[in-house]
Amino acid sequence: MNDKLFVMGWIDLNNNFVQVPFDSVREDALITRIKKRKYNFTHFTHQFLTAIPLFNDGTYCVLSKSELDKVFEKSYKDMEISSRKMPLDEEECVAYNGVLFEKQKYLDNYKENNKE
């Protein structure tokens, strides 16, 4: 299995995953995903809609406003800021059990590893 940490989906605060502190590894993974999809959303969206990053190790982080601002500042350092775009706007996302998955393969892998 690939040990690289990445954002596999998005959740809201009402979830059954493990919350962990936001660190530099998770920051890099979140910046990578934001750059790839050109996401641009507010702290309100992060807190109250399905915009909390869920990582492939089954953890998530809730960022403070300053942490989220810093992530977006780093994400758009070398590129033009896009119009408002949230994970809910992404056509490739697939919802399952309260998770908005970034790609179908992430959903398939999740289902395979979490059989009931």
The one-letter code for the residue type at 83 is S
Structural domain boundaries enclosing 50: 7-113
Query: Is residue 47, in this structure, part of any structural domain at all?
Result: yes
Give me the residue label for tokens 């809910």: 88
Q: Find, among 21, 61, 53, the residue nearest to 37 by Cα.
A: 53
**How would you write the pLDDT of the chain (116 residues) with one tens digit per residue?**
457 999 999 998 888 899 999 999 999 999 999 888 888 887 877 777 778 999 999 999 999 989 998 998 898 887 776 666 767 666 667 788 788 888 888 888 888 887 65
> CB neighbours of 26 closer than 8 A, spacing ≥ 6?
5, 20, 53, 55, 61
Q: In whole angstroms, give the CA distance from residue 58 to residue 7.
A: 10
Query: Is residue 104, in this structure, part of any structural domain at all?
Result: yes
Q: What pTM did the predictor assign?
A: 0.81
Helix (H) or strand (E) holding 100: strand 99-101
Number of domains composing the chain: 1
> So what's the pLDDT on residue 84?
61
Query: Is residue 1, in this structure, part of any structural domain at all?
Result: no
Query: Is residue 73, in this structure, part of any structural domain at all?
Result: yes
Query: Is residue 50, in this structure, part of any structural domain at all?
Result: yes
Query: Is residue 2, in this structure, part of any structural domain at all?
Result: no
Query: Is residue 42, in this structure, part of any structural domain at all?
Result: yes
